[in-house]
Amino acid sequence: MRWTARPISDPGAVSQLTAEVTKDPLLAALLVQRGITTFEDAKAFFRPDLNQLHHPYRMKDMERAVERIEKARIQQEHVMIFGDYDVDGTTSVALMGEFLEGKFPIEAYIPNRYKEGYGLSFDGINLAAELGITLIIALDCGIKAFDQIAHARSLGIDIIVCDHHLPAATLPKAHSILDPKRSDCPYPYKELSGCGVGFKLCQALCEHWGLPEDVHLHPLLDLCAVSIAADIVHVTGENRLLAHYGLQRIRNGQARAGFISLLEASAKAPESLTLRDISFSIAPRINAAGRMESGLRAVELLRSTDRAEQDELAERINAFNQDRRETQA
């Protein structure tokens, strides 16, 4: 392979970084190519800190979403947490379910890949109506679910969309739509995963309820790291922060036990895990649950606190992955 060097776009910034940060012109040039042009930029890059996360209320509709969830908590409404069947969707459902546990009755829902297809489904909405659910939090989907959201509204169900996909020219009539790619959304970072958008909602709720982030938010970072690796979003900005601290928790033995069981089943050592390992070894196993049976099995594994159940689910998911590989061979 032949490498072609990009021309240096800002020689002055390269010289400044060489003098102040790296003492190495080549490293300084690489930093400048990544938009890192000042000492403070370099400090943030080399020393990531969760305090660098943007304030969640900068995202359009965040206040409306928080107010609606607070109403559900006060009135003890039955809430559905709906996510897609892929890794980003299942980690999103696990994240939101864990964070909201105990706040109100929750029903987790992952659509059947073959019967319902991708995204917010009529079957899921109809089940919600049958169960008396009045609020659906749709994660990693919903931004183009015009008909489904209209159907939910006709049944008296509000929907909060937490998505990261590019919207159409118009938006569905959901109660609130959290998507940094909305043209009217001023949120500074546009490349969050679906799980990352869910994390920002949890961050806002932490602030609203006065909850300590180290107790209620930081334990969710391993899920964010898995979603970032699996969904192949840009590992820049907030994604890089979330991935860094999520991997740190996994490597330090602080990951959720269900994830550790899955690592053991796939013969991966947590202390040396990389995003590449997640993308090529772990993500396919989680995806296989949605392909071969139900993405809910992955959610159950990621949320389980029982070791025997974790091992059983990890073994089943590993078997799903083997079946998937044989089917595709």
Tens-digit pLDDT profile for residues 36-66: 899 888 888 889 999 999 999 999 999 999 9
Q: What is the phi/psi pair of residue 119, to 5°?
A: 85, -175
Whether residue 269 is contained in a domain is answered as: yes
Residue 109 belongs to a domain? yes
Residue 150 banded pLDDT, cuts 50, 70, 90:
very high
Residue 4: pLDDT band with limits 50, 70, 90? confident
Residue 23 falls within a domain, yes or no? no
Q: Supply angle C-alpha 174, 175, 177, rounded to 5.
A: 65
Q: CA 117, CA 275: separation in Å to the nearest integer? A: 28
What residues pair up with 107 in beta bridges, in sequence order?
Answer: 80
CA nearest 173: which of 146, 211, 202, 210?
Answer: 146
Q: How many residues does the chain have?
A: 329
Is residue 26 one of the residues assigned to a domain? no
Output phi, psi for 46, to 5 deg.
-85, -20
Calculate ∠ Cα 301-307-310, nearest 5°. Answer: 20
pLDDT surpasses 80 at 320 = no
Q: Which of these, 135, 139, 131, lies nearest to 110 by C-alpha position?
A: 139
CATH number at residue 85: 3.90.1640.30
Name, in order, each residue with C-beta under 8 angstroms of 64's C-beta and a sequence gap of 6 or more. Answer: 175, 176
Query: pLDDT tier at 115 (50, 70, 90 boundaries)?
Result: confident
Q: What is the pLDDT of residue 174?
A: 98
Two tokens, residue 22 = 């790296």
CA gap 188, 58 in Å, rounded = 8
pTM: 0.92
| 284 vs 123, residue with greater confidence | 123
> 249 and 218 in contact (C-beta within 8 Å)?
yes
Amino acid at 162: C
Cα distances from 310 to residues 20, 70, 88, 265, in angstroms, run 50, 32, 20, 11
As a 3-state breakdown, the chain gives helix, strand, coil percent values, each rounded to 5, of: 60, 5, 35
Count CB-CB contacts under 10 A for residue 68: 20
**Structure confidence by residue, pLDDT tens digits, 193-233:** 999 999 999 999 999 999 999 999 999 999 999 999 998 89
For the cut 90, the answer to whether the pLDDT of residue 255 exceeds it is no
Domain that holds residue 135: 56-328
The better pLDDT of the pair 197, 309 is held by: 197
82: which strand partners?
109, 138
Instruction: Give the percent of the chain with pLDDT over 70.
Output: 98
Alpha-carbon separation of residue 185 from 16, 62, 160, 167, 253 (angstroms): 34, 10, 16, 11, 37
186 falls within a domain: yes
Q: Is 90 exceeded by the pLDDT of residue 261?
A: no
Task: With respect to residue 2, please indicate whether it lies within any of the assigned structural domains.
Answer: no
Which tokens sit at 167? 């919207």
Domain count, the chain: 1
Has residue 39 been placed in a domain?
no
Lowest-confidence segment of 20-34, 59-73, 103-117, 149-163 by average pLDDT: 20-34
Classified as helix, coil or strand, 41 is helix
pLDDT tier, 165 (very low <50, low <70, confident <90, very high otherwise): very high
Domain assignment present for residue 148? The answer is yes
Please state the separation of Cα 205 from the chain's center in Å.
16
Maximum Cα interatomic distance, the chain, rounded to a whole number of Å: 66
Residue 2: is its pLDDT beyond 90?
no
Does position 172 have pLDDT exceeding 80, yes or no?
yes
